[in-house]
Amino acid sequence: MTLLRAYRAMIERNPAVRQDVGVVVVGDGPERDALARYVSASQLDDCVWMAGARDDVQSLLPNLDVFVLPSIAEGISNTILEAMASGVPVVATAVGGNPEIVADGVTGRLVPSGDVAALAGALEEMHTNREFATRCGVQARAHAQTKFSLSAMIDAYDALYVAALESRPDRLARVA
């Protein structure tokens, strides 16, 4: 709901945004009906796509200008990592593991959870400063590949095991 309210605030400040910016809501759950009612009541039906549950998100991501995750609580979000790996800048709430993944001002923007004005501001920045958004997308992809790819995970585990073995030389002798 925070995303939809932020989008509506953007339109209220600048009605031309309605022609340039749309929202895709992906997923399904107990809040879907409330979100759809808000979209209808706010007369946003023409610019908000309630896409529902999808199994083709990877094909949707590269077509987005910005990926938004306005979570109230979050762990390490695979959806953020997928967006970043697709080269899409991220706007997310600074909850849970999101600040570990999103570097504010580098790979996207972090905003306080539930803060409609802050989210609207971050989205407006991405919309009006395309150079910044493009740079964030490029950095997001590089960050995802460097820190969160399979090869990065394997290297991290390898370094962890080597450090553990080196800290216990008595165990190293038995393993060898």
Instruction: Please give the residue that has the higher pLDDT: either 48 or 158.
Output: 48
**Nearest CA to 23 among 42, 4, 2?**
4
- Residue 161: the pLDDT is 80
Residues 37-68 have pLDDT tens digits of 999 999 999 999 999 999 999 999 999 999 99
Q: Would you list the domain boundaries of the chain?
A: 2-175
Q: Give the pLDDT confidence score for residue 21 in this predicted structure.
A: 94
Q: What are the tens digits of pLDDT across the range 5-49?
A: 999 999 999 999 999 999 999 999 999 999 999 999 999 999 999
Q: φ, ψ for residue 50 (rounded to 5)?
A: -85, 90
Query: What local confidence, expressed as pLDDT, does residue 170 receive?
Result: 66
C-alpha pair distances (Å), 159 with each of 75, 121, 154: 24, 41, 9
- Predicted pLDDT of residue 64: 95
- pLDDT of residue 103 exceeding 90, the answer is yes
**Predicted local confidence at residue 39, as pLDDT:** 97
Query: Is pLDDT of 102 > 70?
Result: yes
Q: Strand order in 108-111's β-sheet? A: 67-69, 90-93, 108-111
Tens-place pLDDT, residues 72-88: 999 889 999 999 999 99
- Burial class of residue 73, CB neighbours in 10 A (0-12, 13-18, 19+): exposed
pLDDT of residue 35: 97
Check whether domain 2-175 has CATH 3.40.50.2000, yes or no? yes
Percentage of residues in the chain with pLDDT exceeding 70?
Answer: 95
pLDDT surpasses 90 at 169? no
